[in-house]
Homo-oligomer: A and B are copies of this chain.
């Protein structure tokens, strides 16, 4: 197989992570999800929990500041002080570029589609799903209480979108940021995995 870096952005509960894992297994290439968080934690000296939390989702302090200052003002103001999300992003960006240099792999989340937007070896994928499926999945797989599931899913979406906008100045989930956007509840998980693998094996 020709070198292929697959980046996967995904809605919470869409099954994007499982699709990434199946693609990595089927193609025999590494998957970077939690592993990426652990490497960044090791390099930065921050805890894996902090990197997990602040490296993909806007924290309350980030959201408050965006609300009062807007994206650009906040950005300019915070860069001078190397705010935590910027710090983590610097490590994530460096690591994601290193991984993409090395060999084929699957990278889940972490704005990898933006970081590697000019890398021709990449396939940038976004996975979405219908709300009822997303709710079912977070209850079954993430252990979220049924009564809290819908607000959990929506809240994660808002925080990911805000973090993405803050760091990339792009709209999260806009089709034009990706090469392939797949609705997993419509197409089915197996079909999503096949479409991605077929592209990688035949390009």
Residues of A near any B CB (own CB < 8 A): 11, 123, 126, 128, 171, 173-176, 178-183, 186-187, 191, 195, 199, 202
Cα A179 to Cα B123 with chains together (Å): 18
Report yes or no: B183 in contact with A182, Cβ–Cβ below 8 A.
no
Q: Which of B175, B191, B199 contacts A181 (CB 8 A)?
A: B175
Q: How far is the CB of A16 from chain B (nearest CB, A)?
A: 12
Task: Find the B residue at minimum CB distance from A173.
Answer: B175
* Structural contact, A178 and B176, CB atoms closer than 8 A: no
- The verdict on A183 contacting B179 (CB below 8 Å), with A173-B174, A174-B173 known, is yes
Q: Are B182 and A187 in contact (CB under 8 A)?
A: no
Cβ–Cβ < 8 Å partners of A178 in chain B = 175, 181, 183
Residue of B nearest to A14 (CB): B176
Contact of A128 with B191 at beta-carbon distance under 8 Å, contacts A180-B182, A181-B181, A182-B180 already known: no
With A173-B174, A195-B195 as given contacts, are A187 and B183 in contact (CB-CB < 8 Å)?
Answer: no
Q: With a CB–CB cut-off of 8 A, which chain B residues contact A173?
A: 174-176
Q: Which chain B residues lie closer than 8 Å to A195 at the CB level?
A: 195
**A191 closest partner in B (C-beta):** B199
* Cβ distance A53 to chain B, nearest Cβ, rounded Å: 25
Do A128 and B175 form a contact, CB below 8 Å, given A199-B187, A199-B191?
yes
Give A38 Cβ to nearest chain B Cβ, in Å: 29
A176 to chain B, nearest CB (A): 5
- Distance between Cα atoms of A173 and B195 in the complex (Å): 21
Q: Which residues of B contact A187 (CB under 8 A)?
A: 179-180, 199
Contacts of A11 in B (CB 8 A): 176
Q: Which of B174, B186, B199, B202 contacts A175 (CB 8 A)?
A: B174
